[in-house]
Structure 1
Amino acid sequence: MRSGVIKVLLAMTVASFMLFAYGFVTGVQDVLQPRVSNMPKQAEIKIKKKGNDILQIVSLGDSLTRGVGDKNGTGYIGRVKEGLQEEFDQKTTLTNLAVSGAKAPDLIKQLSDKGARYTIGQADVIVLTIGGNDLFPGWETLANTDFTQYRPDTETFQANAKTILTKIREVNPDSPIFWVGLYNPFEDIPELKGTSRIVADWNSSLEKTALDYERVYVVPTFDLFQSSGTKLLYSDHFHPNEAGYALMAERLLHNMTTKLDVAENGGAK
């Protein structure tokens, strides 16, 4: 009787040890020789280029897209062009139609210009920034504004955003549009407390608007600048400096190469 119990216990001990050994060996193999995941890849949207292998980018908007604050004037959009060419071997042209100081109504007016409409119609990718000059009051009243009570005209901005996207789609129905969201340059200024909430709400309204259109992507930048103080801002404490634009470019480049199915060293398909 006793010998039978001992044999059972011994058998269980051996089985437990073998199970542990199998698990250990399997774990080591997963670390040293990881297997390809069976998880499905995120669906990629392939770009349909207009006529040749060169990716044609057209950028629109305000001083952020013009690169104000960057001593070389490269800005985020110039860095994206360089990144596509150098990191992904994708031949790229860039036509920058942005105008410093532009507000949403200014861009809407520009989108009625025949030359601008033709250029946008030829674009493989459209990138824009607009809204920063609409969101906050002018510099002359900025310091005297109580931002805990301030409410921007989000309804008008949403209407303008829809008009902008509709006008772009009139001349270019298919090419992806990357709308770069806003950051808050004033979050570290105690006198302007409350501005972060305003910018976050503004970005949220833009994202809701973009959902009504195909292949329109809002690229967030709010988190890049939050709690960074003046490290990422130009001396005017409004526009990015070179470091700020570099972060914006990195974020946009990641979004673009994911959505456009750009393979490293392979170009856009």
Structure 2
Amino acid sequence: MFRRIAAAVSAAILSVSLVSCSMTEKTAKEVVYSTEVPPKMLFLGDSIAAGYGLEGYTDTDNYHCRSYSNILKDEYAEELRGKCGHTMVNKAVSGATSNDLIEQLRSGELDGDLADCDAIVVSIGGNDLLGIMLDLLGSMGISESGSFDSGNIDFFSAAALLLSIDGDANKALEQFELNIKTIVAELSGRTEGTIYIQTLYDPLEYYTKFKRVTEFSSEKIGRLNEMITENSSCGYKVIDVAADFKGRAGSLTNIAAFDIHPNAQGHELIAKDVDAAFRSTGFTYTTTEYGDRKLSSEGRIAIAGIIAGIALLAVVGLALLIRKKKEK
């Protein structure tokens, strides 16, 4: 009897040793860390965000020019190295209007990127007014070289066109205000990340000789920026690029070459503006961390069984010993 019990306990001890790995476990817990910059950011909108006009830019590749999105990508990849890592996605489309961005959002093509994004930066609105602005320049006789031929201009036709352009610009602005609310609603329904919308700088301030141009541009772009600021209560933060570009269109854009887009220096400044907005917000990331290995519930049960078996063996052995003594 004693031998059979001893054999059973020995077998139990052996089986426990064979499955000892399953008897222990590591405790896992999620730990939240703070960071000043977003682990994943997404850039949307128009040619300003895409990096149009910069060296390395193509209409199919937003990632090989030194645009402000790529400047920040490089900085944040280094800053977050060894922590959570960094991801930048740029789905801006050169020539996109606010209507185009709404269609892009509703198509679902951005849903995957938006789902796990920490920050979404939008540059939109310039193309809503761009064609109208260029028509104004043409009505004033301003060529792509920036020259002005007053001898060939029909002032009566120009005045009539200006009135028409003014009406078109006002209609575009009314639609933009509706669209900006729709854009934010579409974004908010697809992401829990922080949404940022940039104001639009005024490149036509460069034409200081043409008061009619600068006044018109200042009024319309100024109104567009007011709309962006006034509607921020819909659920986004404003990055006021326009304020930092004011009075500096000649040095921060390519307008001297009849190109409204930011130059390399302009993109550097926008990068600083976006970075400041990020750091004033703050972000978090979560990691799963494991503690020291300890007994699992199965392990505790198995060990309790061994102890009980040993105790039983001791009791039976004692009983057999006492019995033998009595028989003597």
TM-score past 0.5 threshold = yes
Q: Which amino acid aligns with 1:135?
A: L
Indicate conservation of the 8 Å contact 2:38/2:278, yes or no: no
Q: Which residues in structure 2 correspond to 1:13-92 (within 5 Å)?
A: 55-72=39-56, 73-86=65-78, 91-92=85-86
SS at match of 2:218: helix
Q: Which residues in structure 2 correspond to 1:116-155 (within 5 Å)?
A: 116-138=110-132, 141-143=135-137, 144=139, 146=162, 150=166, 151-153=169-171, 154-155=173-174
- Displacement over 4 Å in runs of 4+: 87-90
Q: Which amino acid aligns with 1:161?
A: I
Which residue among 167, 170, 175 is the counterpart of 2:193? Answer: 175
For residue 71 of structure 1, report the CA deviation from its aligned partner. Answer: 1.4
Give 1:37's aligned residue. none
Indicate conservation of the 8 Å contact 1:136/1:152, yes or no: no
Indicate conservation of the 8 Å contact 2:46/2:93, yes or no: yes
> Whose radius of gyration is greater, 1 or 2?
2
In structure 1, C-alpha distance between the alignment counterparts of 2:98 and 2:34, rounded to whole Å: 27
Q: Deviations over 1:120-157 (max 9, x none)?
A: 1221111111100002434651312649x834332211
Q: Which residues in structure 2 correspond to 1:85-100 (within 5 Å)?
A: 85-86=77-78, 91-100=85-94
In structure 2, C-alpha distance between the alignment counterparts of 1:169 and 1:117, rounded to whole Å: 11
Which residue among 244, 247, 255 is the counterpart of 1:224? Answer: 244
Q: Deviations over 1:16-73 (max 9, x none)?
A: xxxxxxxxxxxxxxxxxxxxxxxxxxxxxx979xxxx981111110101100122142
Give aligned-pair identity as a percent: 25
Q: Which amino acid aligns with 2:39?
A: L
In structure 1, C-alpha distance between the alignment counterparts of 2:225 and 2:66, rounded to whole Å: 25
Give 2:214's aligned residue. 193
In structure 1, C-alpha distance between the alignment counterparts of 2:286 and 2:176, rounded to whole Å: 33
In structure 1, C-alpha distance between the alignment counterparts of 2:252 and 2:100, rounded to whole Å: 27
Q: Which residues in structure 2 correspond to 1:202-213 (within 5 Å)?
A: 202-213=224-235
Change (3 A) 1:218 1:140: closer
- Comparing 56-65 with 76-85, greater Cα deviation is found at 76-85
In structure 1, C-alpha distance between the alignment counterparts of 2:218 and 2:38, rounded to whole Å: 39
- Comparing 90-99 with 136-145, greater Cα deviation is found at 136-145
User: Within the alignment, does 1:161 sit opposite 2:180 as a pair?
Assistant: yes
Give 2:13's aligned residue. none
SS at match of 1:123: coil
In structure 2, C-alpha distance between the alignment counterparts of 1:55 and 1:168, rounded to whole Å: 18
Give the unaligned 5+ runs of structure 1.
Answer: 1-45
Which residue among 102, 110, 114 is the counterpart of 2:108? Answer: 114
SS at match of 1:101: coil
Indicate conservation of the 8 Å contact 1:104/1:161, yes or no: yes
SS at match of 2:234: coil
Give 1:6's aligned residue. none
In structure 1, C-alpha distance between the alignment counterparts of 2:230 and 2:179, rounded to whole Å: 13
Q: Deviations over 1:80-99 (max 9, x none)?
A: 22232345657321111111
Q: Which amino acid aligns with 1:221?
A: V
SS at match of 1:187: helix
Indicate conservation of the 8 Å contact 1:64/1:239, yes or no: yes
Larger helix percent: 2
SS at match of 2:182: helix
TM-score of the superposition, structure 2-length normalised? 0.58
Give the unaligned 5+ runs of structure 2.
Answer: 1-32, 57-64, 140-160, 288-328
Give 2:265's aligned residue. 243
Give the number of equivalent residue pairs. Answer: 212
RMSD between superposed Cα atoms in Å? 2.8
Structure scoring higher RCO (CA < 8 A, sep ≥ 6) equals 2
